[in-house]
Amino acid sequence: MIFTVAIDGPAAAGKGTISKAVAAHFGFAHLDTGLLYRAVGAKVLAGGEPVAVARALDPVDLEDDSLRTPAVAQAASEVAVIADVRSALVDFQRKFAARDGGAVLDGRDIGTVICPDAAVKLFVTASAECRADRRYKELSGKGLDVTSEQVLADVRERDARDSSRATAPLIAADDAVIIDTSDLTIDAAVARAVAVVEAAKRAVG
């Protein structure tokens, strides 16, 4: 059974949490596509050439805890602007989406570019302040030396770059269901996502 759930949205809106929960609920595989761009960004920070690095990316490169730092997030957002980097990563994502048993992919362009025919498209968003506040708590909880002002500025900078780039900008697909998590608990946001997927599953039988 091929059943793809595309979950897009800006940084720290809750797509990762929702994606993992939806995948666990339905027994689908999950791919955080941000990790692909983060892995390329990390290799570029280490001196690599973006397109060459993207073409040579290995799934093992995604299993690296150091990909979760703000510096790597910015580098990811910068390499994500390069059209040849994006096209080097398309096949891997589409193959993952078409795997037997169902798949959840979260990112920025899954419903618009990678899987325009996905069975379900969600666009998970929240206000910039709310997302920065969550990211600040997450990063400072990990012991990283950040200020809330700096995190909000980073979130805004990344939003602007991700939304304004020419290739595959961050935008909700016309047929996406929007979930604004600003005033939702995690459980409520997950329940909403699960209900949308459930309805789509019923519709395809």
Would you tell me which residues interact with ligand DC (CB under 6 A)?
Answer: 11, 33-34, 37-38, 73, 76-77, 80, 107-109, 158, 162
How many Å apart are CA 34 and CA 49, to the nearest integer? Answer: 19
Closest CB 37 distance from ligand DC, rounded Å: 3
How many Å apart are CA 34 and CA 68, to the nearest integer? Answer: 10
Closest CB 174 distance from ligand DC, rounded Å: 18
Closest CB 3 distance from ligand DC, rounded Å: 19
How many Å apart are CA 170 and CA 89, to the nearest integer? Answer: 16
Closest CB 197 distance from ligand DC, rounded Å: 19
Query: Would you say 60 or 204 has its CB closer to ligand DC?
Result: 60
Query: Would you say 67 or 177 has its CB closer to ligand DC?
Result: 67
* 15 residue type, one letter: K
How many Å apart are CA 45 and CA 164, to the nearest integer? Answer: 23
Query: Would you say 172 or 198 has its CB closer to ligand DC?
Result: 172
Closest CB 161 distance from ligand DC, rounded Å: 7
Rounded (5°) CA angle 155-111-63: 60
CB 31 within 8 A of CB 5: no
Query: Would you say 88 or 162 has its CB closer to ligand DC?
Result: 162
Long-range contacts of 192-199 (CB under 8 A, 24+ apart): 193/7, 193/18, 193/21, 193/22, 193/122, 193/124, 194/21, 194/22, 194/25, 196/120, 196/122, 197/5, 197/22, 197/25, 197/26, 197/120
Closest CB 205 distance from ligand DC, rounded Å: 29
Query: Would you say 134 or 158 has its CB closer to ligand DC?
Result: 158
Query: Would you say 105 or 177 has its CB closer to ligand DC?
Result: 105
Grouping H, G, I as helix, E, B as strand and the rest as coil, residue 49 is coil
